[in-house]
Amino acid sequence: GAVVSQHPSWVICKSGTSVKIECRSLDFQATTMFWYRQFPKQSLMLMATSNEGSKATYEQGVEKDKFLINHASLTLSTLTVTSAHPEDSSFYICSAPDYNEQFFGPGTRLTVL
Amino acid sequence: RKEVEQDPGPFNVPEGATVAFNCTYSNSASQSFFWYRQDCRKEPKLLMSVYSSGNEDGRFTAQLNRASQYISLLIRDSKLSDSATYLCVVNPGYSSASKIIFGSGTRLSIRP
């Protein structure tokens, strides 16, 4: 199957800093990618849909100015958590569709101190 | 009402048992249905797609009932390695580029 990578796999940062997470489709092109967040013992919650060459579509309750998404190429989408705070600590996962299946990246575990 | 609902469990069953999960969805126009498996601190991985006619893959059987809007997953002869969270996933659109909806997951623990 198709492969999606994420970088970094984990990051620890101080409160107030910004963190960029990359999501890449390695062997296919993705005009759309999805960003999810998962808190402990909860399911994945869709944050936004990343669209290549246009603005991302954010889910209700997700602040677009706090979670900046850029989808500059057909194989790369980035999520920047700006001015991160401890409550932003979570597991961030991206996915990209290929044919009729969603392929997930391995996730990025963010811890904000 | 949640778009996709699952019994969160946990289900704790002995090795070799048969276990079944159900999932209901609210959008009657939904097009595609899946079961994903997620291990602790890992990304979800596709277990199987769910078709109207029902489908089987080894010890796993998935069924879809469009009239009642529910999906089921049956695991026979459960193994220790089946311990995971099982996510019911619904695609309300016609394209894989449509955003998919996750259920909250059902936790399964297989004991020796």
Q: What string of pLDDT tens digits covers the 113 residues of chain A?
A: 789 999 999 999 999 999 999 999 999 999 999 999 999 888 889 999 999 988 999 999 999 999 999 998 999 999 999 999 999 999 999 999 887 788 999 999 999 99
Please compute the mean of the pLDDT values over residues B92-112 and round it to a whole number.
Answer: 85
| Residue B81 main-chain phi, psi, to 5 deg | -70, -10
Cis peptide preceding A106, ω within 30 of 0: no
- Which positions in chain A touch B103 (Cβ < 8 Å)? 43
Average per-residue pLDDT for chain B: 91
Which 34-93 residues of chain B touch chain A by CB within 8 A? Answer: 41-46, 49, 87, 89
> Is residue B96 within 8 angstroms of chain A, CB to CB?
yes
**Closest residue to A104, CB basis, from B44, B49, B99:** B44
Task: Calculate the alpha carbon distances from B81 to B15, B37, B38, B39 in Å.
Answer: 10, 11, 12, 10
B32 vs A93: which has the higher pLDDT: A93
Three-class secondary structure of residue A84 per DSSP: coil
The strand pairing partners of B2, in sequence order, are none
Q: In whole angstroms, what is the distance from residue A104 CA to residue A96 CA? A: 7
pLDDT at B73 (0 to 100): 96
Measure the CA–CA gap between B23 and B43, rounded to whole angstroms: 20
Using a CB-CB distance cutoff of 8 angstroms, which residues of chain B are in contact with residue A97? 95-97
Chain A residues whose CB is inside 8 A of the B102 CB are 43-46
Going by the DSSP 8-state scheme, the letter that residue B54 receives in this structure is -
Contact B43 A93 (CB under 8 A): yes
